[in-house]
Amino acid sequence: MKRITGLVIPAALLLFSVAGCSKEGKQVTPANETIITESECTDYNVSLLSHGFVNGKTTYVWSIINPVPGNGQNCTLQDLSHWGLLPDPCSDTPYPGLFFFQQDIVSAAYSVDGGINWVSLGTPTVKTDKSQNCTGEYKFLKFDKGTTGSAETQFKLVLNGQWGVRGNVAFFKAGKKCWSQWVEGGIGCKP
């Protein structure tokens, strides 16, 4: 798996997942002077555990696990501070440009005990994140919670309406590092 560090993603790169970590690899300097460092290090394990539509609302539950906890050196990953998903523009559907908006978000929560107890994250917002430098001016849905060691953290998002599943670019922040990673089970479009 590859991931992108220190990146402002041009539209063409949204289709790919490129990697990076503290193990230095090839450096490329695009026109916007952002440095992209690539390597074959691992990513957080992100899985869509469930997706369902009940009573006019769609619920997603993701699991995130740090497979190699450490200090961020030698391809280890620091505890995740927070993460987020870049909304997909749904350009290949019958409703181009139709993706979820702030008013579609009902709630978000996290669980550190396998989904038994949920702690509210309130209503997350779709906005830029000034705490990291790899998202540029892209607006994304931020989950303001991370991971501890190799323990699983689950994240739940509830949206008004019926929404599908598709791949999304996800942004991650750990320590002073941030990067993007392709997530297969992301927020989809309206069917």
- pLDDT per position as a tens digit, 35-80: 334 445 778 899 999 999 999 999 999 999 999 999 988 888 899 9
* Structure-token pair, residue 71: 């200090």
Report which of residues 6 and 178 the model is more confident about.
Answer: 178
- Predicted pLDDT of residue 40: 59
Q: Provide the b/e sequence for 150-173 (b: ≥16 CB within 10 Å).
A: eebbbbbbbbeeebbebbbbbbbb
Q: State the Rg of the chain over Cα.
A: 16
Q: Does residue 14 register a pLDDT over 70?
A: no
Which residues have C-beta within 8 Å of that of residue 54, sequence separation ≥ 6? none
Q: Name the class of domain 44-174+183-187.
A: mainly beta
**Residue 21 clears pLDDT 70, i.e. is over it:** no
pLDDT at 93: 53
pLDDT on residue 35: 31
Q: In the chain, how long is the greatest CA-to-CA distance?
A: 49
The pLDDT value given to residue 17: 30
Regarding predicted confidence, which is higher, 96 or 14? Answer: 96
Give the pLDDT of residue 110: 97
pLDDT interval class at 175 (50, 70, 90): confident
Residue 60's identity, in one-letter code, is Y
Q: Write down the pTM of the prediction.
A: 0.76
Q: Sort strands 119-120 and 126-127 into parallel, antiparallel or unpaired.
A: unpaired
Q: How far apart are CA 182 and CA 163, in angstroms?
A: 19
> What are 79-94's pLDDT values in tens digits?
999 998 887 676 655 5
Query: Beta 177-187 vs 105-111: how paired, if at all?
Result: unpaired
pLDDT 10s digits, 131-155: 777 777 777 888 999 999 999 999 9
Helix (H) or strand (E) run with residue 53 in it = strand 45-54
Give me the amino acid identity at 102: Q
User: What phi and psi, each to the nearest 5 degrees, are found at residue 137?
Assistant: -95, 10
Q: For residue 125, give the 3-state DSSP assignment.
A: coil
The answer to whether residue 129 scores a pLDDT higher than 50 is yes
Residue 157 has pLDDT above 90, yes or no: yes
